[in-house]
Amino acid sequence: MAAFAPEAILAALTARQLIPPGSAAQLRLLHDADGKTSHRIDPGEAPLFVKQGAPHWSQVEADIQAAVAAVLPDWTVPVLARL
């Protein structure tokens, strides 16, 4: 699986109104191995975490985060987008 270019990630977040248009958001690659990439995006407000992986496993991880959030909301990150 090819990783998305940083510009594509920022464009997708802007299109979903998760970062403001024209922001000078900083994107930092955190992990790139085994067909998965993780990025931290600092748009000037609260940072975001974007993970790209195999579609099935990405959905499983999003479902796990959502289930844990119901019980331990302070220990999880909000799931902002799903497949």
Residues 5-27, mean pLDDT to the nearest whole number: 84
Rounded to whole angstroms, the Cα distance separating 77 from 83 reads: 17
- For the chain, the straight-line distance linking the first and the last C-alpha, in angstroms and rounded, comes to 16
Locus of tokens 């403001």: 20
Write the single-letter amino acid at 33: A
Question: What is the model's pTM?
Answer: 0.62
pLDDT tens-place string over residues 18-71: 888 888 888 888 888 877 888 888 877 778 888 787 766 777 877 888 888 889
